[in-house]
Chain A
Amino acid sequence: MAAPVCMEYRIEGNNFMVAGTASNNIKNTLKMLGIQSDVCRRAAVIAYEAEINLVIHANGGILKAVISEDKLEISTEDEGPGIPDIDQAMTEGYTTASNQAREMGFGAGMGLPNIKRNSDLFEIESTPGVGTKLISTVFFNK
């Protein structure tokens, strides 16, 4: 692969009809590029969990995927309410999801731990009142 492949999507807040479309595009692109299927699966989980978090917690934001020779980087950036306590947010079962989100099957408090579990490198940075940034990296030969 020569130049990195970059994909960038503006994710709409609280729109459940289209939520997941961007992640599905990312997954399909990875498959088309012939990336190993276990990597595609991990990437799908990371992208989808991150996308849903933008939809249900951040009033939308940007979802990005950069595929280079040896790795895939999935990142999000939003100007939502931010996360006051990252350790708490990373704890399995902790959630502040709305009833609407729960009715859709979200709010298990598993998304961020799922993202971390599927990442080789994981970074999250958040400032209350400013927004949240998340970067997840998956290496291809690992």
Chain B
Amino acid sequence: MNLKELAELIKAEVITSDRDLSEITVPFVSACDLMSDVLAFCSPGSLLLTGLTNIQIVRTAQMLDLPAVVFVRGKIPLEETVNLAKESGIPVLLSKYSLYEVCGRLYAAGVKPSYVPQPREA
């Protein structure tokens, strides 16, 4: 699914984007508020859904080259968060739905979850 279709599904408002969202494909989604878990378990190319709105969310997305970030529950991101997103060219989407409902809508539409690796043998 591309980001434009995805935004419509979750009735998201798109801020910070000078890019054509229909050209960004989203193969996987990861929903998480723990950044270390994102760093550990997020498949390359995953869209990040989160209820946190601080600057380190975008920093994490930037470190992993994630295609975009969705802030849920109608949360408004902090100014520095938006600035870093603009600077690094990461689209930010705002959805009024809860994390659960955003996940449900995307899952029902067939978007795959981020791969969770099995623990490595010691």
Contacts and interface: CB of A to CB of B under 8 A. Distances in A.
Interface of A: 16-17, 19-20, 23-24, 27, 41, 44-45, 48-49, 52, 103-111, 113-114, 117
B96 to A, nearest CB: 21
B59 interface: yes
Given A105-B52, A105-B54, A44 B63 contact: yes
A103 B35 CA distance: 11
B116 interface: no
Contact of B57 (A23, A41, A105): A105
Chain B binding surface SS class = helix
Contacts, number: 70
Contacts of B120: 117
Nearest to A48: B63
Interface stretch (B22-30, B36-44, B100-108): B36-44
Contact of B56 (A16, A45, A108, A117): A16
A41 B43 CA distance: 11
Interface string B83-122: 0000000000000000000000000000000000000100
B63 A20 contact: yes
A19 B65 CA distance: 17
A17 B35 CA distance: 16
B80 interface: yes
B36 A108 contact: yes
A20 B36 contact: no
Contact of B36 (A16, A19, A49): A49
Given A16-B54, A16-B56, A48-B63, 13 more contacts: A17-B55, A17-B80, A19-B56, A20-B63, A23-B63, A24-B63, A41-B64, A45-B40, A105-B33, A105-B52, A105-B54, A108-B36, A110-B36
A27 B64 CA distance: 10
B16 interface: no
The 9 closest A-B pairs by CB, nearest first: A110-B36, A20-B59, A105-B35, A108-B34, A108-B36, A44-B63, A48-B63, A114-B40, A45-B39
Most chain A beta carbons < 10 A, residue from B37, B40, B64 = B40
Contacts of B36: 49, 106, 108-111, 114
A20 to B, nearest CB: 4
Contact of B39 (A17, A27, A48, A103): A48
